[in-house]
Structure 1
Amino acid sequence: MEDLEGKRILIVDDNNTNLIILKSQLEQWKLLTVVASSANQALDILKSDGSFDLIITDMEMPDMDGVGLATEVQTSANPLSVIMLSSIGDETKKKYPGLFSSILTKPVKKRLLCKSIQQALRDEPEKQGIQKHQNVLDEQFAVEYPLRILVAEDNPINQRLILQILKKLGYTAVMAGNGYEVLDGLKKADYDLILMDIQMPEMDGLEATRRIRQQGIPQPYIIAMTGNAMSEDRNNCLREGMNNYLAKPMKLESIKAMLRNAYLKV
Structure 2
Amino acid sequence: TYMAGKNVLVVDDNSTNREILKEQLSGWKLLPQLTDSAENAIKIFNDKPGFYDLVITDMQMPGMDGVTFAKKIREISPDVPMILLSSVGDEYNQTNNKLFSAILTKPVRQHMLCRHISKAINPTFVVRSEAPQQKMSAAFAAEYPYRILIAEDNEINQQVIQFILQKLGYEPALVSNGLTAVQAQKEHSYDLVLMDMQMPEMDGLEATRTIRSGNDDAVIIALTANTMAGDQERCLEAGMNDYLGKPINVEELKEKLIMWAGR
User: TM-score when scaled to structure 1?
Assistant: 0.48
Give the number of the structure whose alpha-carbon radius of gyration is greater: 1
User: TM-score when scaled to structure 2?
Assistant: 0.48
